[in-house]
Chains A and B, each alone.
Chain A
Amino acid sequence: MKFNLKVYCDKTRLKDIREFITEKLKAYVHDDLEINQMVLAVDEICANLIIHSNYCNANEAINLEVFVERDGVTFEISDEGEKFDLKKYKEPSIQEVVQTKKKGGIGLMLVRRIMDKVEFVNKEQKNTCIMHKRFKHQ
Chain B
Amino acid sequence: MDYNKEVIDNILNLEISGDLIGENNGPGLVELLNDEINKGITKCAIDISGVRYMNSSGIGVLITILTKLRNKDGEVVLINPSEQVKKLLIITKLNNIFTIYDTKEEAIASFK
- Co-assembled chains A and B: yes
Residues of A within 8 A of B (CB): 11, 14, 18, 32-33, 36-37, 39-40, 43-44, 47, 94-95, 97-98, 101, 103, 106-107, 109-110, 113-114
Q: A114 is contacted by which of B53, B57, B91 (Cβ under 8 Å)?
A: B91
Task: Count B interface residues, CB 8 Å.
Answer: 21
Q: List 24 A-B contacts (CB under 8 A).
A: A11-B23, A14-B23, A33-B83, A33-B84, A36-B53, A36-B84, A37-B87, A39-B53, A40-B53, A40-B88, A47-B57, A94-B93, A94-B97, A95-B97, A98-B63, A101-B63, A101-B64, A106-B56, A106-B60, A107-B55, A107-B56, A109-B56, A109-B91, A110-B88
User: Do B59 and A106 touch (CB < 8 A)?
Assistant: yes
Instruction: Tell me whether B56 and A103 are in contact (CB under 8 A).
Output: yes
Interface residues of B in 54-112 (CB under 8 A from A): 55-57, 59-60, 63-64, 66-67, 83-84, 87-88, 91-94, 96-97
> How distant is the Cα of A32 from the Cα of B52 in the complex, in angstroms?
10
Residue of A nearest to B88 (CB): A110
By a beta-carbon cutoff of 8 Å, the part of chain B in contact with chain A is 23, 53, 55-57, 59-60, 63-64, 66-67, 83-84, 87-88, 91-94, 96-97
B66 to chain A: which residues have CB within 8 Å?
98
Closest to A92 in B: B92
Contacts A43-B55, A44-B55, A101-B67 hold; do A33 and B60 have CB atoms under 8 A apart? Answer: no
- The answer on a CB contact under 8 Å between A98 and B56 is no
Q: Give chain A nearest CB distance to B68 CB in angstroms.
A: 10
In the complex, chain A residues whose CB is within 8 Å of the CB of B87 = 33, 37
